[in-house]
Chain A
Amino acid sequence: MKLGMVIDLDRCIGCRTCMVVCKSHNAQPPGTWWNRVFTPGSPEHQVPALQKGEPQMYFLPVACQMCENPPCQKVCPVGATYTDDQGRVEVDLERCIGCRYCLAACPYQVRQFNWEDPKKAKGKAGYVEGYEYGYPFPHRDKNGRLVYIPNRPKGVVEKCTFCVQYTDNGEKPICVQACPARARFFGDLDDPHSEINEILRQRQAFRLKEELGTRPKVFYLPPTSPRK
Chain B
Amino acid sequence: MHRKNLALILGFFLFLVSLSAWAYQLKAGLIITHMRNPFSWGLYIATFAFFVGIAAGGLIVSSAVYLFNIAALKPFTRVASLSAFASILAAAIIILPDLGRVDKIYLLLLHPNFRSPLIWDVLVVSSYIVLTFLSVYFQLLPDWKREGRSFLNRWTQRLSPEEVEKISITWSRRIAFVGLPIAILIHTITALIFATQVSRGWWYTTILPADFISVAVASGAALCLLIALSSMGEEGFSRYGPAFAILARIAGCALVVHLFLVATDLVIHWWWANPDELELLSLLFRRYGVLYALEMVLTVFSMVYFLSSRGTTSLRTLLVGSLILLVAVFIHRLNLLFPAFNHFPLSLAVPGAANELWSYPVALGEFRPGEPTFVSSWPYVPSLGEIFVDLLPFALAIIICSWMISSYSILPSIRKGKDRTLSSSSTHSLDF
Contact = CB atoms under 8 A, between A and B. Distances in A.
Interface of A: 29-33, 36, 38, 40-43, 49-52, 60, 62, 71, 74-80, 95-101, 103-109, 111-117, 121, 124-126, 153-157, 208-209, 212-213
Contact of B41 (A40, A97, A100): A100
B100 A113 contact: yes
B116 A75 contact: yes
Which residue among A77, A121, A209 has the maximum number of chain B CB atoms within 10 Å of its CB? A77
A31 B99 CA distance: 20
Given A115-B365, A116-B31, A106 B199 contact: yes
B115 A104 contact: no
Contacts of B350: 40-41, 49, 51
B111 A79 contact: yes
Contacts of B346: 62, 107-109, 208-209
B373 A76 contact: no
Contacts of B353: 41, 49-51
Contact of A77 (B108, B360, B366): B108
Interface magnitude class on chain B: 35 or more
Chain A facing B: main interface SS: loop
A75 B29 contact: no
Contacts of B354: 49-50
Contact of B366 (A31, A96, A209, A213): A31
Interface of B: 28-31, 35-38, 40-41, 98-102, 104-105, 107-108, 110-113, 115-119, 122, 193, 196-200, 340-341, 344-346, 348, 350-355, 358, 360-369, 373-374, 376
A48 B352 CA distance: 13
A212 B345 CA distance: 10
Given A97-B100, A107-B198, A76 B364 contact: no
Chain B facing A: main interface SS: loop
Nearest to B194: A104
A155 B101 contact: yes
A95 B113 CA distance: 12
A41 B358 contact: yes
B116 A76 contact: yes
21 contacts: A36-B374, A38-B360, A38-B361, A40-B348, A43-B376, A77-B116, A95-B107, A104-B340, A107-B346, A111-B37, A112-B363, A112-B365, A113-B40, A114-B29, A115-B365, A116-B29, A124-B367, A155-B99, A155-B101, A156-B101, A212-B198
Given A78-B113, A107-B199, A36 B29 contact: no
Contacts of A116: 28-31, 366
Nearest to A121: B367
A104 B41 CA distance: 8
A98 B99 contact: yes
Which residue among A29, A60, A75, A97 has the maximum number of chain B CB atoms within 10 Å of its CB? A97
Nearest to B366: A31
A109 B350 CA distance: 19
